[in-house]
Structure 1
Amino acid sequence: MRPTMMLRLGYIQRGHIGTLTAVFSLQFLVLLPLLCYTMPFSFYFKLTTRRTDASKQAVLLNRERVKRARSYFENLSTDNSRHYTSLLEKGNQVFLAVAVLTVNRPRSGDGNRTMGYLVQSATALDKFAKSREFMGKTFVFICNVDVKPLSHKDAGDLKRYLPFTERYGSSDFHPGDFHVPNNKTVTYGQLFHEDVYEKETYDYMYCMRVAQSLRPRYILMVEDDAVAHPDLAPVLHYTLGNHFGSNTDMIQQNKSFAYLKLYYPQRWQGFAFEMIRLLELCSISCIGGGCFVFVMYVLTFVVKGRLMGNKLYGRYFLMGMLFLMLTAMAVGRQNVLELRRVSKYLYQFRPSPGCCTQAMLYPTHMVRPLVSHLAAAPPGTHTDLIIYNFTRTTGTPAFQLEPNLFYHVGMYTSLKIGNKRPDEFLFHL
């Protein structure tokens, strides 16, 4: 009986080799190429898309977003700013103050036309402030830190709709001078910087101090090239209520943290040789293994009335693991993360890396020690590294949400000239 059983098992195994070959070929040579060739960060996108073509597409998408954003404000009453100032006039406690840091970014070769980053960011945040979760408790303002504020046309146009402050100009409100540990008084409006990174740090400090003057529970610092995802309101409301024990009903928070990062460059969010991401890939693979075993069980026992041996189940489990592992790697972790947007409960909450500062949420009580730390840092140090050093020095935990709750639209940076990699700018809102 044993030789007969071995032959039968061997027949079943050999019979499925052709099926497995067909499944793998269909997946990786037909289906994934068709689905992923336009999907940034996937293997097939990198294989089929030239960087110049991707850059042109990113510029076109940016123009479409700018057109829609400007149309949003054109159809908005100029009395819209009263929505924010009424919070202060009525004496309401501001739960969340949102500062949009901005400088003029003229298009390369054309000093009059801009890339329209600020208007995109302001539109998304205005919608966020009017969401069901944050309506009536969120104060959004433009923080113009350009040395020549009148040259920043986009910021000037938005004065009719949003409160504003200018570090080197007029303001609806502004912070007073303050002292740092070296007994130096910081007077923002009179301070000029030879080093661009030092100016960036002091700009950040200024806008943070303005937000602090509103006495909110939390401060959201957003750079003008970061655009909020539509999921920002429900996910942030859930995160504050469940991870930090604080929600928009003003319940006192009971978990101390330095900041919550809401954006991290997608180019660094792929699969890598890090323990957390390797475990994540292994977990995804196990799902594939389980699915393969289930399918083989249905095909052999339920349909044909046969039963495979345990060794064959193990082999099919390994084949399933390999199948889904290769699929996930071909699609790219960045795109796999998008599946978590199905529900606010599926967003991943994890310790924060050092880079970057496009969108950061701070508890207000962290502003004073953080600003002092920023002011004491040596010139030339990047702001994000100083902030990360603050968490290491004080031992205060910092966190990150994945997938990102902000998109990055700034192909042109305010610190250096030139295009960035276009992959992370190819998205639709």
Structure 2
Amino acid sequence: MLPRGLPQPWGRLCRWSNPFVQFLALTVVTFGVLAPLTCQQFLYSYFYVRRWYLRPMSQEFLKQNQEDGLRALRYFERLRTPNTSERLGNDAFHPWLLITIITVQRHPEFHYVLQVASRFHRLLRECGPPCRRHQILLCNVETDPGSHWDAKLLSSFMSMANHYGGREKAELSPNQFEKEKQDYAYCLEKSLQAYDPEYVLLVEDDAVPEEEIFPVLHHLLQVRFSKAHLQDALYVKLYHPERLQRYINPEPMRILEWLGVGMFLGSLLGFLYAWVSSRSSPSWPVVLFFALYSMLLVELVGRHYFLELRRLAPPLYSIVPATECCTPAMLFSASSAHRALGYLKELHCRPGFAKDTAIYSLLRTKGERAFVVEPNLFRHVGLFSSLRMNGNPKLL
């Protein structure tokens, strides 16, 4: 007699099929057929077919990026002569959050800094009262500041600081990596001296903020970072490269998250399997299989894509210990910014020890803590590095 409520064909399958055969078939179909076909164009998936899609996707990205740059240029051109409502902030104002955009002239056809500034400009105008104590500072670190035409355009709409008065001053830097560190330190120090903000968000000019950045930032700073174990961090990263967000990576702290995913989904799928097969409860081998199955699926499809589910609400964003690499968007409190400035003056950057590596090294040498927010609150749109020549850029 078949279990009540089960269709006749499914009842026969449950009666005659061995669970081992079922699980083997599920594994083969999932990882041998469905996942490869579904995820072959997922850039951060193990199933991504690089030789087929990387070059055309990179070219399409560059084309779209150029269009976004022209759109950002038109955004500011439409504002024409700025008035008090279009110029954000007041030079004498004591902001709660100062957004400092560090910019240098490179590949002007992409208008990187205009893309970043236009997004911030629009989001602040749409934000209204919750963002009334936010301000933007443009920090121009081009050796010849007058040649940076996009920065000159933006100076009509937001405050601007120039690091250099001419090319001769920049030649004092022994190498490009040390110059980048000195530029970064200058912009951070200028932000503190000129505005005395409670928080400084240092953003590089090729990091475009996500639409939800301000609601998430407000929640993080007002709720999450009021907790004792998160207070007084040296910095908070708001971007980490997607290609480095996998579980199988040098960052061991993600293993606990990975195990948690396996335990949750393994139990859920195990109970679902028990219900479908008319069992009272799943056995531990069944739960173990589905746990391993889930962990493998999440890793191979791409942890990055599962992190996107956290965008549903600000409380779902996670805060985890910071990992090495990359400084497109870094958040400092006033006190931590002063500490970071003191540390940076002690360091000398060079090839192989760029500013992101130098800043991360402070966590070990100075006994500091730092965190990263997941998923990313910024998109890194610049494929052309200001430090390294790259005539044929690709997404990976």
Question: Structure 2 length normalisation: TM-score?
Answer: 0.85
Give 1:144's aligned amino acid: N
Aligned-partner Cα distance in 2 for 1:167–1:147: 8
Superposition map of 1:22-421 within 5 A? 22-46=25-49, 49-79=52-82, 86-88=89-91, 92-106=93-107, 113-130=108-125, 131-132=127-128, 134-169=130-165, 192-212=172-192, 213-245=194-226, 255-272=231-248, 274-301=251-278, 307=279, 313-380=283-350, 381-418=353-390
Instruction: Note the C-alpha offset of 1:68.
Output: 2.9
Aligned-partner Cα distance in 2 for 1:363–1:76: 33
Aligned-partner Cα distance in 2 for 1:419–1:287: 46
Distance 1:326 1:366, change over 3 A: closer
Unpaired stretches in structure 2, ≥5 consecutive residues: 1-12
Distance 1:14 1:133, change over 3 A: farther
Query: Contact 2:86–2:157 at 8 Å: present in 1 too?
Result: no
* 1:84-141 per-position Cα deviation (integer Å, ceiling 9, x unaligned): 565345xx431111111111113xxxxxx43221111112222343324742211112
Query: Contact 1:100–1:140 at 8 Å: present in 2 too?
Result: yes
Instruction: Note the C-alpha offset of 1:32.
Output: 2.6
SS of equivalent residue, structure 2 residue 341: helix
Query: Contact 1:37–1:48 at 8 Å: present in 2 too?
Result: no
Give 2:313's aligned amino acid: S
Aligned length: 379
Query: Contact 2:105–2:148 at 8 Å: present in 1 too?
Result: yes
SS of equivalent residue, structure 2 residue 101: strand
* 1:154-192 per-position Cα deviation (integer Å, ceiling 9, x unaligned): 22222222221212249xxxxxxxxxxxxxxxxx96873
Give 1:390's aligned amino acid: L
Structure 1 range deviating more: 130-139 or 72-81:
72-81
Query: Contact 2:238–2:372 at 8 Å: present in 1 too?
Result: yes
Query: Contact 1:216–1:364 at 8 Å: present in 2 too?
Result: yes
Distance 1:388 1:415, change over 3 A: same
Distance 1:117 1:51, change over 3 A: same
Superposition map of 1:1-16 within 5 A? 12=15, 14-16=17-19
Aligned-partner Cα distance in 2 for 1:30–1:379: 48
Instruction: Note the C-alpha offset of 1:373.
Output: 2.4
Give 1:119's aligned amino acid: L
1:173 corresponds to which residue? none
Query: Contact 2:14–2:277 at 8 Å: present in 1 too?
Result: no
Give 2:117's aligned amino acid: A
Aligned-residue sequence identity (percent) comes to 30
Structure 1 range deviating more: 42-51 or 333-342:
42-51
Aligned-residue RMSD, C-alpha: 3.1
1:251 corresponds to which residue? none
Instruction: Note the C-alpha offset of 1:242.
Output: 1.5
Instruction: Note the C-alpha offset of 1:378.
Output: 2.7
Distance 1:375 1:80, change over 3 A: farther
Aligned-partner Cα distance in 1 for 2:97–2:373: 18
Instruction: Note the C-alpha offset of 1:413.
Output: 0.4
- Determine which structure has more spread, i.e. the larger CA radius of gyration: 1
Query: Contact 2:235–2:371 at 8 Å: present in 1 too?
Result: yes
* 1:305-349 per-position Cα deviation (integer Å, ceiling 9, x unaligned): xx46x7x62232223223322211221112221121122111110
Aligned-partner Cα distance in 2 for 1:372–1:21: 58
SS of equivalent residue, structure 1 residue 74: helix
Aligned-partner Cα distance in 2 for 1:81–1:30: 59
Aligned-partner Cα distance in 1 for 2:254–2:37: 27
Distance 1:42 1:85, change over 3 A: closer
Instruction: Note the C-alpha offset of 1:407.
Output: 1.0
* 1:33-66 per-position Cα deviation (integer Å, ceiling 9, x unaligned): 3432222111222456343223212212212322
Distance 1:195 1:133, change over 3 A: farther
